[in-house]
Structure 1
Amino acid sequence: MKHLTIVVPDGQNNISSITGSYEIWSRANLFWKEKTGKNLFKIEVAGMSKEVEYEDGLFAVRPHTQITAIAKTDLVLIPSLNHNYRTAVKGNQALIDWIAGQYKNGAEIASVCTGTFLLASAGLLEGKTCSTHWSVAEHFRSMFPGIDLQTDRLITDENGIYTNGGAYSFLNLLLYLIEKKYDRPTAIYCAKVFQIEMDRHSQSAFIIFKGQKQHGDEMIREAQALIENNVHERVSIEHLSSRFAIGRRNFDRRFIKATGNTPLEYTQRVKIEAAKKAFETSRKTINEVMYDVGYSDVKAFRDVFRKVTGMSPLEYRSKYNASGATPTPLPAGRP
């Protein structure tokens, strides 16, 4: 029988990815046993403490065992750390060392949301690709510059290391892993029981782009402000670089170093973020929104919008604008 370890770090306050992972994987195991007559995995929740409290003591998790009692496991699942990732990294060195040791001994490691910070601290992501919650991307890049962070990706899978995007997207990571470790019918069964949308691959539509500002290049900060304050205009990158008396190539290089985006990519993301908000909150047509954010070519606007969000402007408006949606009537019932 294979072994799954769901770890419980000290000093963090996210319980849903622990309980959710345990419940869904247990259901997959039960479904598999009904088909084959045996469990595929032994599932254990393991930590460094006998009890870990969450939400200011409202909830608590009492792990099955200590990590020191598990000499070998096949798959380690690291839960989300919410926004306590810095504290969690400092207070869980023994767990980090254990995770690194398990990977060295052949275990696969999966991290949920900001659990990627523990995974990165174990040295297992250097030179690799990973994802995490889009809201902490800037902090992640500053702490781990040698890792290729791709927040558009919902799930990454590289050399026995799995990561995923933010919050409840861990449900999609679980289905992905269950399909790999059990089979497709088991994953479909779990998707139906827990009503999880299958085969999601991107978190682009959920990203709120605020711009990367945690850098020390004042000139680039000024350039960012000019882009953001002139979202309704068509921005010329050549004009922008000449305004700061710097060549285009050097301007691009400094912009990428500071923000992680080229000036053109940054401009596109700012404009598309403004378009998203317009689609969410107004009754403006697609053409009206397009002109408002400085585009005059429908195809160009549609292509950039889809590249940034993974959806067409029409799909996005239909999904997120309540005034444009037609509610499904509830069945009649007794008062």
Structure 2
Amino acid sequence: MEQITVLYPEELCLLSTVACVLGTVEMFSQAERFWTSQGRIPKYQLLVAGTSGKKEYVRNLVSIKTDAHIAEIRKTKLIIIPSALPPKDTEDNAVMTDWIAKQHKAGADIASMCSGAFILAATGILDGKNCSTHWTHADKFRQLYPNVNLQANQLITDENGIYTNGGAYSFLNLLIYLIQKYYDRETAIYCSKYLQIEIDRNTQSVFSIFSGQKQHGDEIVQQAQEFIESNVDTKIFIEDLSSKFAIGRRNFDRRFIKATGNTPIEYAQRVKIETAKKAFETTRKTVNEVMYEVGYNDVKAFREVFRKITGMAPLAYRAKYNNTL
């Protein structure tokens, strides 16, 4: 029987860390129970491995008793890293990231949940690979790990045994995905039904709330951001915007991308669509009314951009999130 290890990074714990660990134990227990109930031999043993050996209470509320220290884990099929604080420069954290890297080199697959991506990225394993994390952490993640291809809209990324997922309780969707990978589709469907978790979700775009990155120190770019945000109802031409600040278009684009992670066009689209989302959530306005208010006059173009950013059509979004209708 092979082993799956759930990391419990004691010094970096949040309440969400505990939720991820307990959710993983529950989900894989159900998967193993279903698997063996079909007359098959046991497949995986799940262990929770700590990193410091200290008993720490999260928010003076809860503490997890681990099965082992990571140093005792010699070989594992899969390491699951829960949501956690970004690792600091401590001896325990260095031991933890070294252990993850060595296990991966020895053949272990790795999966990170939510902000656990910071721990995984600290090992260097994610360099050059795609990755997801909670959308609120995207700017900080890009600053700390510029060599990782952050895909903040993706719910799950899968790069040959390196798995990451988006924010908060979407870790349950990652677990369903992993159960399908490590058991089979039938077991994944059973777990999704038994624990009532939607199967085959693939985006967290609809949950994102766009807030432009402004902690970058480029005053011109910040002024451009403020102009875009103050003129949501206007169709903005980037050539005019770069001329307004007396910067060539190519240089303006380069500075804007470096500062915000978006091109000027992408930024303007996200600002407009965020305004449109709020209108659909809180008013009875039609698609056309909202479209005109955010500077579009082509309904097809508006729908395409809205779907690209949110993963949903405007009418579907309004139906899902507006409780005044």
**Normalising TM by the smaller chain, what interval?**
over 0.9
Q: 2:38 aligns to what SS in structure 1?
A: helix
Structure 1 residues 211, 52: CA separation in 2 closer, same or farther (over 3 Å shift)? farther
| Match in the other structure for 1:328 | none
Aligned residue pairs, count: 322
Structure 2 CA distance for aligned equivalents of residues 68 and 253 of structure 1: 46
By how many angstroms is 1:259 displaced? 1.2
Q: 2:28 aligns to what SS in structure 1?
A: helix
Which whole-Å deviations, capped at 9, do the CAs of 1:269-323 have from their partners, x for residues lacking one? 0000000011111111111111111111111110100000000000000000011
TM-score (norm 2): 0.96
| Match in the other structure for 1:5 | 5
Q: 1:191 aligns to what SS in structure 2?
A: helix
By how many angstroms is 1:88 displaced? 8.7
- Indicate if the aligned counterparts of 1:111 and 1:163 stay in contact, CA closer than 8 A: yes
Confirm whether residue 69 of structure 1 aligns to residue 72 of structure 2.
Answer: yes
| Match in the other structure for 1:333 | none
Deviates more, 1:195-204 or 1:242-251: 242-251
| Match in the other structure for 2:240 | 239
| Match in the other structure for 2:122 | 121
Q: Once the two structures are aligned, what percentage of the paired residues are identical? A: 57
By how many angstroms is 1:87 displaced? 4.4
- Indicate if the aligned counterparts of 1:10 and 1:92 stay in contact, CA closer than 8 A: no
Structure 1 CA distance for aligned equivalents of residues 244 and 252 of structure 2: 11
| Match in the other structure for 2:162 | 161
Q: 2:10 aligns to what SS in structure 1?
A: coil
Structure 1 residues 88, 208: CA separation in 2 closer, same or farther (over 3 Å shift)? farther
Structure 1 CA distance for aligned equivalents of residues 75 and 69 of structure 2: 13
| Match in the other structure for 1:132 | 133
Q: 1:308 aligns to what SS in structure 2?
A: helix
Q: 2:63 aligns to what SS in structure 1?
A: strand
Structure 2 CA distance for aligned equivalents of residues 38 and 89 of structure 1: 42
Structure 1 residues 115, 89: CA separation in 2 closer, same or farther (over 3 Å shift)? farther
TM-score (norm 1): 0.93
Confirm whether residue 31 of structure 1 aligns to residue 34 of structure 2.
Answer: yes
By how many angstroms is 1:217 displaced? 1.3
Confirm whether residue 53 of structure 1 aligns to residue 64 of structure 2.
Answer: no
By how many angstroms is 1:57 displaced? 1.8
By how many angstroms is 1:159 displaced? 2.6
- Indicate if the aligned counterparts of 2:87 and 2:119 stay in contact, CA closer than 8 A: no
Confirm whether residue 43 of structure 1 aligns to residue 46 of structure 2.
Answer: yes
Structure 1 CA distance for aligned equivalents of residues 36 and 90 of structure 2: 37
- Indicate if the aligned counterparts of 1:51 and 1:63 stay in contact, CA closer than 8 A: no
Structure 1 residues 137, 271: CA separation in 2 closer, same or farther (over 3 Å shift)? same
Question: Which stretches of structure 1, 4 residues or more, deviate above 3 A after TM superposition?
Answer: 49-55, 86-91
Matched to 2:2, the amino acid is K
Matched to 1:165, the amino acid is G
CA-based RMSD of the aligned residues comes to 1.4
Alignment of 1:141-180 (within 5 A): 141-180=142-181
Structure 1 CA distance for aligned equivalents of residues 307 and 20 of structure 2: 30
- Indicate if the aligned counterparts of 2:87 and 2:93 stay in contact, CA closer than 8 A: no
Structure 1 residues 52, 310: CA separation in 2 closer, same or farther (over 3 Å shift)? farther
> Unpaired segments of 5 or more residues in structure 1?
325-335
By how many angstroms is 1:54 displaced? 4.4
> Unpaired segments of 5 or more residues in structure 2?
none
